[in-house]
A and B are shown apart, each in its own frame.
Chain A
Amino acid sequence: MTNLGAAAGAQSARVRGRRGIRSAAVVGAVVLLLALAAGLRLVLERRFDAGERDPRAAYIPSGPLLRRAALSFDPLLADVFWIRAVQRYGRARLAGGGAGRYEDLQPLLDAATTLDPRFDAAYRTGAIFLAEPPPNGPGRPDQALALLEKGARAMPERWEYPYDMAFIHYWWLRDYRAAADWFQRAAEVPGSPWWLPPLAANTFAIGGNRNSSRTLWRRLHETSGSAWVRSEARRRLLQLEALDEIEQLAREVDRFSRREGRPPSAWRDLPAAGPGGAAPRDPAGHPYKLESGSGTVSIAPGSPLFPLPVEPALAAVP
């Protein structure tokens, strides 16, 4: 009886042992397979640069087919396309821009706005993404205008779309006549703000003026519902401030050059220098750069305000 019991116990211990080994083998195999899968993914990412082209974005069905195929999930699918557009833009910008990196941006934004025709951020923020020149964007104000036109067709009661179109004509295309025309159209939308008609007239009269640009960015900062757009507008306002400061510094350089017969060799030569001859700082807190040979003052490449916009020439619209 004791022998039988001992034999049964030994057998059950053997069974438990075998089960334990089997479980350990399964866990080991799963871990090994997962590690192999992760390794293969790494190889894939290295061989086919993921930032170069997102295969999920390669095929973006458009138009009515997309809306129908979405059944009742069109707003959610629009969100997915929007998130992919934001990721595509952010990834391309982080990778330093370059040809082809922003290629899928327009179809993604188009898909998002087809699925959800009232997707305000996809139109307004998307248009800013598209209009940004390389390396910060694809530099396609034409696509930005088309996107905003689509938004204006979907929501004719919104003055913001013609306003944004005016903005693109003004800032990126420097077509002040068209900008004034679109500001005027925005002003004609019932419920538009009081400051639009004078803005239209002002743009027509003195397009390209830095103060007009400042007013436009400030209005965009005040009216946009997107945190990203507000932060971009803030950056642009700081850039305009930096342009003012650089002009001021250039005047000091000029005075020094006339007085001394040579350009300043360092900041300590100028009254704008900080304690101990330190370089004055731009509105983002980075020191300005002074070319000792030529005396040219510019923004440092490390500053978040770099590169400064090429300022529209002061031009009266004929």
Chain B
Amino acid sequence: MQRAGAAVVGLIGLHVFRQAAREQALHVAGLFALLLIAAHLLIGQISAGQEVKILKDLGLAGSTVAGLFIAVLAGTGLVAGESGRGAMHITLAAPVRRHELIFGRFAGLALVLAAALGMMAATSYGLLAWTALTASEAETRGWEAPAADPALLRAYLLIFMELLVVAAIALLFATFASRVLAAAMTVAMYVVGHFNADLRAIEEVTGAGAVAVGAAGLSYVLPDLAPFNVSAEVVHGQPVTAAYLALTAGYGLVYVAALLLVAAFIFSRRDLQ
């Protein structure tokens, strides 16, 4: 029974991936590639010798933004969008349980994000490798880390984990809110997720008390997205240990599991008539 459930989730995931590819979600990665190439041509002229650093920063930040677009738009569209169009009734008429639908859609979304991020990382690496090939010895002497540094993959891995959390948030909101509202709330959660540390530190401003305890408690419920950002460390050739990667990725996976459970719970009790 469980194997059948996993197979259904896998099938839905593949279907979502194909649908996203059909709906041109992966074109975002193509657009990113074009923008990065254009930036590469321009940066050399205006960055006073900092093109490798800026290319790396731009590649990582651009991948985050493009991934966010995909996670928010596709994540909210997979449930709220279909419910709005009435397509959900057709899907639910198939012998598929509602939680399988949620897990399957998330799996598909994760595949889309992995494919898009992979394409964007490959573009970045290609341009960085080209820059390394065409740079003089004096220029390379000033680099803090090699241009096509394999350590960049660590930053891409954590960006992927962060995007999974955002996609799960989007999916959760889409189970009970309209698409626009779900997208707005997801973006708000992304912003809040980067201020999480401030919630924990509120005691320093208000002093110990109910507000501080409440804020600290809230900080553990809300996502903490700041640890996923290791771009600066990686670009400057600073070490990001395997233990840090494992712990942060583990936190992301556990948080995603919790969000998906809540999403499946809400969706299974929702009246879609």
Evaluate whether A73 and B64 lie within 8 angstroms (CB atoms) in the complex, with A68-B195, A79-B53 already known. Answer: yes
B46, B60, B195, B225: which contacts A83 (Cβ < 8 A)?
B46
The distance in angstroms between the C-alpha atoms of A75 and B231, with both chains bound, is: 7
Q: Which partner residue on chain B sits nearest A78 by CB separation?
A: B57
Evaluate whether A226 and B49 lie within 8 angstroms (CB atoms) in the complex, with A73-B64, A116-B232 already known. Answer: yes
Chain A residues whose CB sits within 8 angstroms of the CB of B226 once the complex forms:
72
8 A Cβ contacts from B219-247 to A: 225-226, 228-229, 231-232, 235-236, 238
The distance in angstroms between the C-alpha atoms of A73 and B226, with both chains bound, is: 11
Evaluate whether A226 and B144 lie within 8 angstroms (CB atoms) in the complex, with A72-B229, A76-B57, A116-B232 already known. Answer: no
A68, A118, A121, A230: which contacts B50 (Cβ < 8 A)?
A121
Inter-chain contact A225/B47, CB cutoff 8 Å: no
Inter-chain contact A75/B61, CB cutoff 8 Å: yes
Evaluate whether A72 and B138 lie within 8 angstroms (CB atoms) in the complex, with A121-B48, A228-B49 already known. Answer: no
Q: Which partner residue on chain B sits nearest A126 by CB separation?
A: B48
Evaluate whether A74 and B232 lie within 8 angstroms (CB atoms) in the complex, with A224-B142, A227-B139 already known. Answer: yes
Contact with B along A96-135 (1 / 0, CB 8 A): 0000000000000000000010111100010000000000
B154 at the interface (CB under 8 A from A): no
Inter-chain contact A72/B225, CB cutoff 8 Å: yes
Inter-chain contact B58/A71, CB cutoff 8 Å: no
Inter-chain contact B46/A87, CB cutoff 8 Å: yes
Chain A residues whose CB sits within 8 angstroms of the CB of B254 once the complex forms:
none
A183 at the interface (CB under 8 A from B): no
A167 at the interface (CB under 8 A from B): no
Contact with A along B51-76 (1 / 0, CB 8 A): 00110011011001000000000000
Q: Return A75 CB to nearest CB of chain B, in Å.
A: 4
The distance in angstroms between the C-alpha atoms of A228 and B50, with both chains bound, is: 10
The distance in angstroms between the C-alpha atoms of A116 and B53, with both chains bound, is: 11
A82 at the interface (CB under 8 A from B): yes
A86 at the interface (CB under 8 A from B): yes
The distance in angstroms between the C-alpha atoms of A205 and B60, with both chains bound, is: 50
Q: Return B157 CB to nearest CB of chain A, in Å.
A: 14
8 A Cβ contacts from B31-55 to A: 46-50, 53-54
B257 at the interface (CB under 8 A from A): no
Chain A residues whose CB sits within 8 angstroms of the CB of B49 once the complex forms:
121, 125, 225-228
Inter-chain contact A83/B47, CB cutoff 8 Å: yes
B58, B64, B144: which contacts A120 (Cβ < 8 A)?
B144
B143 at the interface (CB under 8 A from A): yes
Inter-chain contact A68/B235, CB cutoff 8 Å: no
Inter-chain contact A76/B48, CB cutoff 8 Å: no
Q: Return B26 CB to nearest CB of chain A, in Å.
A: 23
B47, B53, B54, B64: which contacts A72 (Cβ < 8 A)?
B64
Chain B residues whose CB sits within 8 angstroms of the CB of A75 once the complex forms:
57, 60-61, 231-232, 235
Chain B residues whose CB sits within 8 angstroms of the CB of A86 once the complex forms:
46-48
Chain B residues whose CB sits within 8 angstroms of the CB of A121 once the complex forms:
48-50, 53, 142
Q: Return A226 CB to nearest CB of chain B, in Å.
A: 5
B residues sitting closer than 8 Å to A (CB atoms) are: 46-50, 53-54, 57-58, 60-61, 64, 138-139, 141-144, 162, 190-191, 194-195, 198, 225-226, 228-229, 231-232, 235-236, 238
List 5 tightest A-B contacts by C-beta distance, closest first. Answer: A225-B142, A72-B229, A76-B61, A227-B49, A118-B236
